[in-house]
Amino acid sequence: MEQRKKALIVGMAKSGVGAAKLLSATGWDVIISDKKSEIEGLDCALSGVSVSWRLGEDPQTLFDGVSLIVISPIIPMTVPFVGAAQARGIEVISEIELGYRYSRAEFVCITGTNGKTTCTALTGEIFKNGGRHTFVLGNIGVPITEHALETREGDVVVAETAGLQLEGNVRFHARAAGVCNITEDHLDHFGTMERYIAAKCKIFDHQTANDIAVLNYDDAVVRDMARLTPARVYYFSRKSEVPRGLFLRGETVIYRDEDGESELIRADEIKIPGGHNLENAMLSALLALGMGISADAVRETLRVFPGVEHRIEFVREFDGVRYINDSKGTNPDSTIKAIQAMTRPTVLLLGGFDKHNDFHELFEQFRGSKLKAIVVLGETKQKILDTARDTGYLGYCHATGTFEDAVSCARVLAAPGDAVLLSPACASWDMFDNFEQRGSVFKEIVHRFE
């Protein structure tokens, strides 16, 4: 009797659960591992799934008989147990690589620093409205492995692919790849910008001349990525007329290719607000147009797509103050874009888990903005206050303790006609499990106001 293959999964958050389900369903013996010895809700998540539980144990003690290791995206490929496994000939991959291997769909992938989630959700809606059977998966919150076995020929997987996920890819092939922008982020994981950018660029691995790549022409780092792929390159730009792709002429978004130019849509018809969302809309439109979706389907989707939860999401207006949830703003550049989208005097909630980002450029961008006051919280509180002192903004800052204290402080500081914006420029892990939980708690607090 042929011996069953054995896999080890390290890290049992959403991606680990998805990987365990997929491997178990396809005949693997599965060992699950995590640095935590107990994980709330994991029993329920893996109900009916046959796995060997080895939580709290060193992964290096679990290698016997293992031919495949699937690691959580938060685990760097540089950790010692990964190198030890590879030295023994054990393949180490990401969850999205695993999902890709078992999927029969074409992959349309979005990466970059900011805007990935909005672009992924919007692109998925365009493909659905264009008549394609579409799965919207990946870093947007649903692991690719959860639905890989459901896909069929002709289907599309629109996937948000973060650099944390891409660095563990081996054979992953994006039929269409889009890059929003590149700014400083996740240096706690990658160490240097060079390694961070290199991970993002793995989205182009295995592309061919039959594929497409969509790049931000206004971002010099992203524009230069054209040399990394043999795919047909489309650009989008708010500032320049690009040789092939979408650009802004006056208030109209123009599509240009070898056959000439045509008007796609007026910028003011796009429902999601802000200049950064105009870029997101152009990236999504190009991914769809390049894959044969009609301009009509693109146009109609852009007119009605409302945006995504936790990304400049209107929560409530209370006592004349608008409360905005931008918990997805997990790095300084994302918060800059959120502040730029504000049309009212704004009280900003800022701070959280330290990803080793620098906040000086963020404070410099506050000049001339709608910023009224800053409520500072979390692990990065002192770092933010020091930056505020360096840039002359200390007088705007109000330091707080708990998250609820911060929201209450913002409520006191805001006057009728103002906005309160949660856009922390930091990850959530000092106080919350993830940015979704942080945004949900913010909304719960605001909805309790009376």
- Looking at domain 6-89, its CATH architecture is 3-Layer(aba) Sandwich (3.40)
**CATH for the stretch 313-447:** 3.90.190.20
Is 80 exceeded by the pLDDT of residue 198?
Answer: yes
Residue type, 362: L
Q: What percent of the chain has pLDDT over 90?
A: 84
CA angle 428, 432, 433 (to 5 degrees): 95
Instruction: Tell me the pLDDT band of 183, cut-offs 50, 70 and 90.
Output: confident
Please indicate whether residue 17 or residue 341 has the higher confidence score (pLDDT): 17
- Whether the pLDDT of residue 108 is over 60: the answer is yes
pLDDT at 204: 95
CA 407 vs CA 324, 402, 410, 441: distances in Å: 12, 9, 5, 10
Helix axis angle for 275-290 and 295-304, nearest 10°, is 150
pLDDT of residue 1: 43
Terminal-to-terminal C-alpha distance of the chain = 68
CA distance 302 to 270: 5
Name the pLDDT band for 445 (thresholds 50, 70, 90): very high
Report the percentage of the chain scoring pLDDT > 70.
Answer: 99
pLDDT of 2 above 60: no
Interval 361-391: pLDDT, tens: 999 999 989 999 999 999 999 999 999 999 9
The answer, yes or no, to whether residue 91 has pLDDT greater than 80, is yes
Domain positions in the chain? 6-89, 97-304, 313-447
At 401 the pLDDT is 94
pLDDT at 431 over 60: yes
In 176-211 the beta strands, taken as DSSP E runs, fall at 176-179
Tokens of 370: 């709608």
Give the confidence band of 233 by pLDDT, cuts at 50, 70, 90.
Answer: very high
Decide if 288 contacts 297 (C-beta within 8 A). yes
For the CA atoms of 25, 30, 34, 36, what is the dihedral angle to 10 degrees? Answer: 90
- For 363: left if phi > 0, alpha if psi spans -120 to 50, otherwise beta; the answer is alpha
pLDDT of residue 186: 66
Residue 246 pLDDT level (bands cut at 50, 70, 90):
very high
Fold of 97-304: UDP-N-acetylmuramoyl-L-alanine:D-glutamate ligase (3.40.1190)
Q: Is the Cβ–Cβ distance between 179 and 225 less than 8 Å?
A: yes
Q: pLDDT tens digits for 307-327?
A: 888 988 999 999 999 999 999
- Look at residues 165, 31, 155, 41 and name the one whose alpha carbon lies nearest to residue 98: 165
Among residues 312, 329, 339, 361, the alpha carbon closest in space to that of 428 is found at: 329
pTM: 0.80
Reported as a pLDDT band with limits 50, 70 and 90, residue 200 is confident
Mean pLDDT of the chain: 94
